[in-house]
Amino acid sequence: MAIPKMLNLAGQLGRKKEASESRGARVKRSGSPIFHYSAGAIPATTGIEHLEVATATFVGYRAGVAKKYEPVDFIRVTNNSAENILIYINGKLVFQVPAGTIISNDLLGGIWFVALHNVDGTATSADEVKLELQRLPDSADMEARRNNF
């Protein structure tokens, strides 16, 4: 009787591996959910808010849920404040988001860390600066490169 139990256990392990592989393929095909983040109040001039994608708590999700989709490769910043915000991706200054504007970018490559720097003389209020992060589905070009090399 011990042998059938071991065979059953081996079958279950095989199914778990297949499910994990299919999730990876599904992420490549469909991308990740869109993760929404609302920044807190960012103090004037020297105020910086840091966001680590792997451990952040996104609206509607528990902390750390985005880790399995890392690195994300799309960011949209909505700045509803009256202050200009600098965006740093993985420690490098990437772009400025002027007051009252929305900027999107999907040409940055992998995004693991985001920092929001308020460069104006007044603080932003909580929820005035919002981020959307996502791992985009693979394009047809990416799929062709993967299959040909």
Q: Give residue-wise pLDDT tens across range 13-25.
A: 555 555 555 666 7
Closest to 74 (Cα-Cα) out of 101, 102, 110, 38: 110
Phi-psi region of 63 (alpha: psi -120 to 50; beta: other; left: phi over 0): beta
pLDDT of 36 > 90? The answer is yes
Q: What one-letter code names the amino acid at 112?
A: W
Residue 18 shares a structural domain with residue 37: no
Q: Domain range holding 37?
A: 32-137
Which structure tokens are listed for 58? 């996104």
Is residue 122, in this structure, part of any structural domain at all? Answer: yes
CA atoms of 117 and 96, how far apart (whole Å) = 9
Residue 67 shares a structural domain with residue 24: no
Is residue 142, in this structure, part of any structural domain at all? Answer: no
Residue 81 shares a structural domain with residue 128: yes
Do the beta carbons of residue 86 and residue 96 sit within 8 Å? yes
**Dihedral over Cα of 94, 34, 56, 124: its sign:** positive
Residue 62 shares a structural domain with residue 131: yes
Residue 18 shares a structural domain with residue 54: no
Is residue 111, in this structure, part of any structural domain at all? Answer: yes
Residue 26 shares a structural domain with residue 50: no
Residue 24 shares a structural domain with residue 83: no
Residue 45 shares a structural domain with residue 12: no
The total domain count for the chain is 2
Residue 66 shares a structural domain with residue 21: no
Give this prediction's pTM.
Answer: 0.75
Give the pLDDT confidence score for residue 108 in this predicted structure: 76
82-114 pLDDT, tens digit per residue, is 999 999 999 999 999 999 999 999 887 799 999
Taking residue 26's Cβ as centre, other Cβ atoms within 10 Å add up to: 12
- pLDDT band per the 50, 70, 90 thresholds, residue 30: confident
